[in-house]
Amino acid sequence: MTTIAGRTRSRDSDPMSAAPRWTLPSVLHGTDPERGFPVTWHLTAITTPGVATPAVRIDRVEGTTDNPDVWMQAHKESRVVSEAEAVAFVRAVESRPSPVR
């Protein structure tokens, strides 16, 4: 099941702050935009001391998998993007037609 990216208040954010943090799904299933086959992505927040905004690591494997053992052994393509880029990525994946959903 795909979780839609949206804005919510983070428990870690300042309650007086007007800027809510984005929440992203940890697992995203969709379709490769160029080849049309199912793909699974894992999104992981990466925090760095002294850096105000977190980055997000996006790991991608071909196929649909929810099995942690298969995920661990699968060949992954990884990239690190900003939080805003990750939100845009999730929205783009969710807007594509997909036989997986």
pLDDT at 50: 84
Among 93, 100, 65, 77, CA closest to 4: 93
CA 1 to CA 78: how far, in whole Å?
A: 22
pLDDT single digits (tens) 7-51? 443 444 444 444 445 678 899 999 988 888 899 999 999 988 887
Per-residue pLDDT, 12 = 46
Q: Which of 6-10, 48-52, 80-84, 96-100 bottoms out in mean pLDDT, i.e. has the lowest? A: 6-10
| Three-class DSSP category at 84 | helix
Domain layout of the chain by residue ranges? 21-95
